[in-house]
Amino acid sequence: DEFISSPPRKTVRFGGTLSEILLKYEKGDTTDFELLKHQLSDPDIKDAQIINWLHEFRASVAYLTKELEQLVNILLKLPWLRRSREVVEEYLGFLGNLVSAQTVHLRPCLRMIVSQFVPPRITIREDDVDISDSDDDDENISENFNTCHRALQTVARYVPSTPQFLMPILVEFFPFINKSERTLECYVHNLLRVTVYLPTLRLQILELIIEKLLKLDVSTPQQDIEDAEETANNSASEEKSTEEGLFDMEEDEDRKGSKVVSPSTERMAHPLAERLDILMTILFSYIKDVCHVDGKLDISNTKDLYRDLVSVFDKLILPTHASCHVQYFMFYICSFKLGFAEAFLDHLWKKLQDPNNPSVIRQTAGSYIGSFLARAKFIPIVTVKACLDLLVNWLHKYLDNQDTGANAYCDVALHGPFYSTCQAVFYTLIFRHKQLLDGNLRKGLSYLQSLNFERIVMCQLNPLKICIPSVVNLFAAITRKYQLVFCYTIIERNNRQFIPVVRSGTGGDLVQTCTNPLDSFFPFDPYILKRSKKTIDPMYQFWEELSAEDLENLKTPIKKGTSEDEDDDFLKGETPQNDGVVEIAPNSYESNTRSPVSSIGSPADCYVPYPL
């Protein structure tokens, strides 16, 4: 109120009032107009001058037509954000007046606002070279972002069609992935804030963000991330040992006992993985905030967001091969309530069984079902059994249709969805067999026998030849243990039929054996980004390394007619827990050329020998 009632301070200015200058310009006298442009472009322009000019411009927006676009662009370049509150308020009022009277300037206004979604750039001079980067130390950056969103809301209030003009600008201004982590973090955070007050853009904005995350994800294979971490850990260990050698003091003994965790341990060694980790953390936080109101799950909000995320999943994630981390947004939202997990499984199931879908999409859907059932702790065993029933019944019907056909032979190109479903079933059984048998052994065995694995394994399509060896070997060991089916004869026959592939290269001939003809992968293999994994780990089922006792138990079949009361360490053992031993085991992403051996927390490529 004080500001509005107080008269503007006098400032030095030339050329008369704005309306006079613009009238002279229309008549061809450009002297004062050029002087006006020069004053507005002055980097040392004072707050009082800006306020005076904006006050006049607000009263003269009718003159600011397309012909004066150059003048409007100078006004949009005014450094208004980092000025006094009075300047900010006057500028917001000017923006509202401008876009309501002259919608021709809507795009430039939107571009100006969106350009402020990242920290300002500063130039640092090093060795006579100017290095431009984002100013991460700007204390007012959060307040500036708030003001930008106020400006955008002001424009949207005056021009209802703002969203359709805004979206292409948001796409255009998205920073390149090699920009600083802070720049990417701020921009993605601000994009997600836009979805709160412009909900019609939410699906498109989520699509844009996840598309960029996906590019980051596929640019950083899991093996590269693990190698970078190992190298960083080795160099850190070397530095530490050097320091301990230099300073051989009594205090060193005390220091060794207490482990100090530095903030740098949260950083990913791989630069692209570091960016991805930060952005995934933001995405998880956004999902949580949208779905929860006052700390309680809001079903309506969660349903709406779930629909948007499933739409993005279908469009971007499902057709992308071997992404490692981005797909976990579906894993996370499904953890909020069992109904969402079941809806996601049903969605994947429809994709898998629909013959109108491309074979590769159906195969990927199968991979997602198996990996989700195996890894999601929040899915109860009742749901697992219901899904196994669906999948196994579909396999048997598939075999019914193939028994008399001319295509009843082992061929990935013909039967890809069948093999993918087999692998999903085998993989689920490996992770969940203890829970399936827990409590009532006889009832559990009866259920597993009812699935009739023998017919699937022994069929002409020969799934054991196509599925990943690590999965096949563990499935064989478990089914032999419970006398469900004996797979080893088939495995040995398949091994004899494998033809090595000889590839010539500059380094000579390379002999390879294809161990993943299905080119399949497990979408929910362990999540290894340090910050964002804290969100996933509590609900994630890790694989525990098999102990020597477990391996021995796998070699010893249970006796027919085992009583429920008889103790069997392997049977009565607990299901794999989150805090168990994490094993270095197969990586499905690289298994198209060799037996997988490099992922963390997946079933090992162990081979349990069968008795001769």
pLDDT average per 10 residues of sequence, the chain (612 residues): 52 65 85 89 89 90 89 92 91 94 93 94 58 58 93 95 96 92 95 96 97 94 90 78 52 44 70 94 96 95 97 95 92 97 97 94 95 96 96 93 71 84 95 89 92 90 89 92 89 77 53 63 92 95 72 63 40 38 36 36 51 40
* Helix, strand, or coil (residue 504): strand
End-to-end CA distance of the chain: 94
Report the alpha-carbon distance of residue 192 to residue 313 in Å, rounded. 18
Token pair listed for 556: 């010893």
pLDDT at 351: 95
* Cβ-contact 388, 350 below 8 angstroms: no
**Which residue bears the tokens 């079903």?**
299
- Contact status, residue 132 vs residue 125, Cβ threshold 8 Å: no
User: What is the structure's pLDDT at 30?
Assistant: 85
pLDDT at 601: 54
Residue 258 is predicted with a pLDDT of 44
Structure confidence at residue 515 (pLDDT): 62
Predicted local confidence at residue 233, as pLDDT? 86
Taking the C-alpha atoms of residue 455 and residue 430, their distance in angstroms, rounded to an integer, is 19
List CB contacts of 529: < 8 A, sequence separation 6 or more.
Answer: 268, 273, 276, 277, 280, 325
What type of residue sits at position 578? N
